[in-house]
């Protein structure tokens, strides 16, 4: 068995079916102590089911969940050192913020002064001390979200599970809470596991991401790894925009519809696909000696910091700085540097 640090979390060979739906297929992963780990994937890929199995809210058909070296697969949720923050934070409306956060400790009959100390500390850390005597409806969405976090963190769980906790927030607040969450996790040094379908969110907060699709983990890696070195077409397309070029291997390169492309290494397949991010292609005045093609601008879309050009032959997409001027009909040379061409597995 692969090793994890003493308080790390390991999942081994988890399978879960709901009737005809094969929700999880042989899932294994290791989350290290103090890591911010994200399960990223589209709706229905099984990420919530996996989180619920880790939380003890769902039983797997087979496989194990191991926390700190101990098999906790059949331990009830309440006896796991794991807490979950859900998408709907479900605060008690009639209780003050302080009492909401203190609820779990009171239920577990902690002494009064310890409750006050622990709750005060968490409220302070999350910037909620001034609001301790308000009720949830007197708080903004972002503040309520922080109360939900404080309520989970006050129990000092070994692992904090976050099930799309920011999806109810508007875009601006969401961006702010993402940064706060990241900062908080760093400060606490606690293990966080987040579920999200939002690739930008996963990039901001995570040390490591597991990209999921159809009940399987397709790729593990740092945000930079999964963005820059996607292994499959699915990962390339799910994590931002990607140009996909099909071709046939020839010597150290690829024969494609836009010409011969030199690659940095030889693909394992005969016929396959390479990916290139729009911002990794260059627009040039003159043709480069290799890996360049003539293209015509079909549409130019101004995006503030960038300008996106949709090109023929298409649908190629290139991203350039927004102070550049291009319009439909312009003829350009496009360079696809070898080091930016990622050879996909399939
Ligand atoms: P979302 O982002 O939409 O919540 P998800 O990736 O979290 O999606 P899950 O909720 O884990 O996906 O669901 C995985 C699959 O299992 C889906 O096809 C879903 O319909 C199915 N499923 C989940 N829970 C149940 C259940 N209790 N009964 C039947 N099918 C279920």
CATH number of the domain to which 271 belongs? 2.40.50.100
Closest CA to 330 of 307, 299, 292: 299
**Intervals of the chain under pLDDT 50:** 1-5
Q: Is residue 81 part of a domain?
A: yes
What pLDDT is recorded for position 5? Answer: 47
Supply the CATH number for residue 61's domain: 3.40.50.300
Q: Are residues 255 and 197 in the same domain?
A: no
Q: Are residues 151 and 269 in the same domain?
A: no
* Rounded distance from Cα 35 to ligand 1 centre (Å): 25
- Tens digits of residue pLDDT in 131-174: 999 999 999 888 888 899 889 888 888 899 999 888 777 788 78
Name every residue whose Cβ is closer than 8 Å to that of residue 310 and which is 6 or more positions away in sequence. Answer: 297, 298, 299, 300, 301, 316, 317
Top mutation candidate among 48, 168, 234 for ligand 1, by most atoms within 8 Å of CB: 48
Domain finish residue from 211, 233, 255 = 233
Domains contained in the chain, number: 2
Domain finish residue from 181, 204, 233 = 233
Q: Are residues 224 and 283 in the same domain?
A: no
Q: Are residues 252 and 221 in the same domain?
A: no
* Rounded distance from Cα 238 to ligand 1 centre (Å): 19
Q: Are 163 and 86 in contact (CB under 8 A)?
A: yes
Top mutation candidate among 38, 45, 210 for ligand 1, by most atoms within 8 Å of CB: 45
Q: Is residue 293 part of a domain?
A: yes
Ligand 1 atom closest to the Cα of residue 46 is 11
What pLDDT is recorded for position 7? Answer: 59
Which phi and psi (to 5°) does residue 232 adopt?
A: -130, 165
Q: Are 181 and 201 in contact (CB under 8 A)?
A: no
Q: Are residues 52 and 197 in the same domain?
A: yes
* Rounded distance from Cα 237 to ligand 1 centre (Å): 22
Q: Are residues 163 and 296 in the same domain?
A: no
- Tens digits of residue pLDDT in 186-235: 988 999 999 999 999 999 999 999 999 999 999 999 999 999 999 999 99
Q: Are residues 197 and 225 in the same domain?
A: yes
Q: The pTM is what?
A: 0.89
Ligand 1 atom closest to the Cα of residue 197 is 2
Helix (H, G, I), strand (E, B) or coil at 236: helix
Rounded-to-integer distance, Cα 165 and Cα 195, Å:
8
Looking only at the bridges linking them, the beta strands covering 271-276 and 243-250 are antiparallel
Helix (H, G, I), strand (E, B) or coil at 142: helix
Q: Which burial class, exposed, middle or buried, applies to 33 when counting CB atoms under 10 A from its CB (0-12, 13-18, 19+)? A: middle
Q: Is residue 4 part of a domain?
A: no
* Rounded distance from Cα 87 to ligand 1 centre (Å): 15
Structural domain that includes position 292: 241-343
What pLDDT is recorded for position 196? Answer: 95
* Rounded distance from Cα 195 to ligand 1 centre (Å): 13
What pLDDT is recorded for position 226? Answer: 97
What pLDDT is recorded for position 227? Answer: 96
Q: Is residue 162 part of a domain?
A: yes
Closest CA to 58 of 43, 46, 42, 44: 46
Ligand 1 atom closest to the Cα of residue 164 is 2
Domain finish residue from 200, 233, 266 = 233
Rounded-to-integer distance, Cα 71 and Cα 192, Å:
19
What pLDDT is recorded for position 143? Answer: 86
Closest CA to 165 of 106, 58, 180: 180
Atom 27 (ligand 1) nearest CA = 18
How far is residue 111 CA from its own chain's centroid? 39
Rounded-to-integer distance, Cα 106 and Cα 112, Å:
8
What pLDDT is recorded for position 6? Answer: 59
Ligand 1 atom closest to the Cα of residue 49 is 11
What pLDDT is recorded for position 3? Answer: 47
Q: Are residues 157 and 271 in the same domain?
A: no
Ligand 1 site residues, Cβ closer than 6 angstroms:
18, 21, 23, 41, 43-49, 197
What pLDDT is recorded for position 2? Answer: 47
If you search the block for the tokens 């396959």, which residue do you land on? 272
Q: Are residues 161 and 225 in the same domain?
A: yes
Q: Are residues 205 and 256 in the same domain?
A: no
Q: Are residues 26 and 160 in the same domain?
A: yes
* Rounded distance from Cα 162 to ligand 1 centre (Å): 16
What pLDDT is recorded for position 1? Answer: 44
Q: Are residues 21 and 134 in the same domain?
A: yes
């Amino acid at each position: 068995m692969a090793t994890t640090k003493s308080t790390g979390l390991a999942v081994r060979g988890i399978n879960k079916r709901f009737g005809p739906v094969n929700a999880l297929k042989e899932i294994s992963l290791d989350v290290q102590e103090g890591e911010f780990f994200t399960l990223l994937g589209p709706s229905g890929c099984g990420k919530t089911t996996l989180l619920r199995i880790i939380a003890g809210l769902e039983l797997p058909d087979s496989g194990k969940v191991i926390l700190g070296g101990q098999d906790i697969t059949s331990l009830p949720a309440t006896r796991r050192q794991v807490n979950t923050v859900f998408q709907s934070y479900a605060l008690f409306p009639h209780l003050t913020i302080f009492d909401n956060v203190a609820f779990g400790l009171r239920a577990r009959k902690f002494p009064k002064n310890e409750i006050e100390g622990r709750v005060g500390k968490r409220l302070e850390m999350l910037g909620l001390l001034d609001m301790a005597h308000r009720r949830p409806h007197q708080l903004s969405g972002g503040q309520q979200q922080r109360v939900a976090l404080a309520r989970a963190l006050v129990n000092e769980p070994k692992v904090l599970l976050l099930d799309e906790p920011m999806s109810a927030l508007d875009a601006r607040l969401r961006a702010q809470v993402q940064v706060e969450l990241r900062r908080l996790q760093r400060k606490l040094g606690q293990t966080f596991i987040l579920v999200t379908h939002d690739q930008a969110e996963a990039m901001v907060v995570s040390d490591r991401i597991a990209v999921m699709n159809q009940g399987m983990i397709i790729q593990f890696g740092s945000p930079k790894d999964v963005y820059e070195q996607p292994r499959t077409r699915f990962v390339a397309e799910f994590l931002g925009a990607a140009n996909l070029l099909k071709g046939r291997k020839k010597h150290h390169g690829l024969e494609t519809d836009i010409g011969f492309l030199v690659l940095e290494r030889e693909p394992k397949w005969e016929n396959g696909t390479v990916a290139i991010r729009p911002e990794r292609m260059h627009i040039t005045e003159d043709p480069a000696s290799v890996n360049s093609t003539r293209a015509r601008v079909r549409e130019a879309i101004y995006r503030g910091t960038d300008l996106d050009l949709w090109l023929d032959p298409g649908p190629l997409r290139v991203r350039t700085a927004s102070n550049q001027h291009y319009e439909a009909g312009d003829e350009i040379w496009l360079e696809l540097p070898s080091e930016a061409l990622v050879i996909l597995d399939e």
